[in-house]
Structure 1
Amino acid sequence: MNKHKTESPGDKISQSVDRQAQRKLKARRDKRHSVWFGLGMFGLIGWAIAIPTLAGIALGLWIDRQWPSQVSWTLTLLFVGVVLGCMNAWRWIGKERDHD
């Protein structure tokens, strides 16, 4: 007779639901995630996107003024800044999600 019990799909689902319920109960007890925390996180994510975007625009304007060409470095680096900012914001959100 096998001493190790194999889990059925129903057991795995039950454990997953239990973990989610425990997280929700913990979140209700934990006052750290208040409205102010949400607003702060919103601001952090906004700045995480805005700073690389503005830096890309500034660098692009400087390059366009120094070395005029057919390529708009302002638009190119604006796009690069937005992409980098979004990746940065995604990292912040992931860190916060993993922290909980």
Structure 2
Amino acid sequence: MSARDPEPGEEDPLVKGVRLRGERHRRWLREGDPSVARRLAQIGVLGWIIVTPMLIGIFAGRWLDQKFNSGLFWTAPLLMLGLGLGCWSAWKWIKDA
């Protein structure tokens, strides 16, 4: 096996998941449970991760609707797109945390 060859199972998502779980468990043993303040901070960040793309979608949609005089033609879809992007970003943030 050369130095560039990946270890067996390195590409396997199950192996990656088990390694990540082991790392998280070792970190928990070393650091203990997070404080209430840290958990509240995480909830706040999570909220902003979801809300910010939604607000951007609303502002962009309202601007486009005013520019083209189209009612809510752009606002509603861009709001939903922002919600989807925010939820996806939050999921990725939680998954990688």
TM normalised by structure 1 equals 0.65
2:59 equivalent in structure 1 = 58
Q: Give the paired residue count.
A: 77
1:76 equivalent in structure 2 = 77
In the alignment, the residues of structure 2 paired with residue 71 and residue 54 of structure 1 have an alpha-carbon distance, to the nearest angstrom, of 15
Would you identify which runs of 4 or more consecutive aligned residues in structure 1 move more than 6 Å?
none
1:4 equivalent in structure 2 = none
In the alignment, the residues of structure 2 paired with residue 63 and residue 93 of structure 1 have an alpha-carbon distance, to the nearest angstrom, of 33
Structure 2: any 5+ residue segments left out of the alignment?
1-17
In the alignment, the residues of structure 2 paired with residue 28 and residue 34 of structure 1 have an alpha-carbon distance, to the nearest angstrom, of 14
Structure 1: any 5+ residue segments left out of the alignment?
1-15
| Residues 26 and 91 of structure 1, relative CA distance in 2, 3 Å threshold | closer
Q: What per-residue deviation string (whole Å, max 9, x for no partner) do you get for residues 34-80 of structure 1?
A: 11111111011100011100000000000000012376110010000
1:92 equivalent in structure 2 = 93
In the alignment, the residues of structure 2 paired with residue 26 and residue 91 of structure 1 have an alpha-carbon distance, to the nearest angstrom, of 20
In the alignment, the residues of structure 2 paired with residue 69 and residue 36 of structure 1 have an alpha-carbon distance, to the nearest angstrom, of 45
Q: Contact 2:54–2:79 (CA<8 Å) still a contact in 1?
A: yes
In the alignment, the residues of structure 1 paired with residue 72 and residue 27 of structure 2 have an alpha-carbon distance, to the nearest angstrom, of 53
TM normalised by structure 2 equals 0.67
Equivalent pairs: percent with the same residue?
38
